[in-house]
Amino acid sequence: MVRSMFAAIAGLKAHQSKMDVISNNIANANTTGYKSQSATFKDSIYSSLTKPSGASAVAGGTGGLNASQLGYGSVLGAVRTNFTPSYPSYTGYNSDVYCDGPGFFMVGPFEQNASPYNSYLSRSGQFTVKNGYLMDSMGNYVYGATATAHNADGTATAITGMTKANGSWDFDDATTDLEPIKIGEKSIGGKPFTEYSIDGNGKITATDSEGKNYEMGYIALVNVNNPGGMIKKDGYYFEMGASDNSGAAGTASIIRAGKTAGSLMSGYLEGSNVDIAQEFSEMITTQRGFQANTKIITVTDEMLEQLVNMKR
């Protein structure tokens, strides 16, 4: 009889944990780049009343017996993150970008030749230019490649960590090192930049006060073998290290936008992928499950009371 009490308490804890996940999803229904989570249960430990036995082939023998087991309720099995891309939300800012694909932006503190293992990955492309560098809204540097030399028409002749083939720049296969994207506050000719734009391939173009355009660099995108293995951090970041279950972001995973990691849309940000209707339906079933477990506790208590009252 007491086992039913323990099972119900375990069920209460599991349903409360699921409600915590649901409440966090609803709280982030309008958070840029937020990826919703879902909680699943698994049954708890069992005690065996009778052990299984095999059948006897001897004449007059008996058949086999199945095990008889009693469970101790449920526990939280896993909290999984849904990485389905969400809708693009229009902002009108040229430096804001939406990644239409599975890729992640690489951001972090200032570090030359940074490795993906020491940085953060993000789906939020809320960028701005500060102190001559492309940075996100949390003050971290956006990583990629920076143009170091230009032709007279403003096109890049040299970009750190990239090579040009068939008229298109791409990240070198021989290196995984990336750098904070340096744009500068003035143009090559000394005229202040008045506007920045980012195209679908991640190319950053700066326009000076005379209307001349300069190819300033490229934003890198990172493909992750198993995004569910990443660890969430404060803000909209994901932590990724070589020992995580996400899989190492190797050389082939660091690519230019417009390829397998997705293309970029300037002037848009990725919205939250929380489905409010789904969350409310999950909330109802979770509430009813919690309520049913409390009823088990009440009924068990009544049964114990009747047992105690047998002795008048």
Q: In the structure, what pLDDT confidence band is assigned to residue 242 with cuts at 50, 70 and 90?
A: low
Q: Looking at residue 208, what is its pLDDT? A: 86
The predicted structure's pLDDT at residue 110? 84
The answer to the question of residue 27 being in a domain is yes
Q: Are residues 108 and 78 in the same domain?
A: no
pLDDT grade, residue 118 (50/70/90)?
Answer: low
- CA dist., res. 110 & res. 127, Å (int): 15
Average pLDDT, integer, range 207-229: 87
More reliable by pLDDT, 70 or 126 = 126
Contacts of 180 (CB under 8 A, 6+ apart): 110, 111, 114, 133, 134, 141, 142, 143, 146
- The reply to whether 148 and 162 lie within a common domain is yes
pLDDT in tens, 61-108: 777 888 888 888 899 999 999 998 899 999 999 999 999 988 899 898
Asked if residue 289 and residue 231 are part of one domain, the reply reads no
In a domain, 138, yes or no: yes
Q: Around 194, how many Cα atoms within 13 Å sit in the side-chain half-sphere? A: 7
138 with 102, same domain: the answer is: yes
Mean pLDDT of the chain: 85
Q: Judge if 121 and 252 occupy the same domain.
A: yes
**Confidence band, pLDDT 50/70/90 cuts, at residue 116:** low
Q: Residue 128: which residues within 8 A CB-CB, separation 6 or more? A: 95, 134, 135, 136, 137
Same domain, 32 and 158: no
Q: Are residues 222 and 101 in the same domain?
A: yes
**H/E stretch holding 202:** none
- CA gap 12, 296 in Å, rounded: 10
Q: Is 8 within the bounds of a domain?
A: yes
The per-residue pLDDT for 251 is 41
* pLDDT tens by residue, 53-74: 887 777 677 778 888 888 888 9
- Residue 157 inside a domain? The answer is yes
Structural contact between residues 141 and 301, judged by C-beta atoms closer than 8 angstroms: no
Residue 59, in any domain of the structure: no
pTM for the predicted model, two decimal places = 0.83
The mean pLDDT of 219-246, rounded to a whole number, is: 79
Contact 29, 41 (CB under 8 A): no
Q: Residues of the chain with pLDDT > 70: what percent?
A: 87
Q: What residues make up the domain containing 170?
A: 88-270
**Structural domains of the chain, count:** 2
Same domain? 44 vs 171: no
Residue 58 lies in a domain: no
Predicted local confidence at residue 73, as pLDDT: 87
Q: Is residue 196 part of a domain?
A: yes
Same structural domain, 145 and 241: yes
Beta 88-90 vs 268-270: how paired, if at all? Answer: antiparallel
The Cα-based distances of 146 to 62, 99, 194, 217, 254 in angstroms read: 80, 20, 19, 4, 15
Asked if residue 103 and residue 77 are part of one domain, the reply reads no
Letter string b/e over residues 168-185, b meaning 16 or more CB atoms within 10 A of that residue's CB: ebbbeeeebbbbbbbbbe
Q: Does 109 map to a domain?
A: yes
Do residues 149 and 262 both lie within one domain? yes
The rounded distance, in Å, linking the Cα atoms of 159 and 185 is 18
What's the pLDDT band for 114 if we cut at 50, 70, 90? low
**Are 143 and 206 contained in the same domain?**
yes
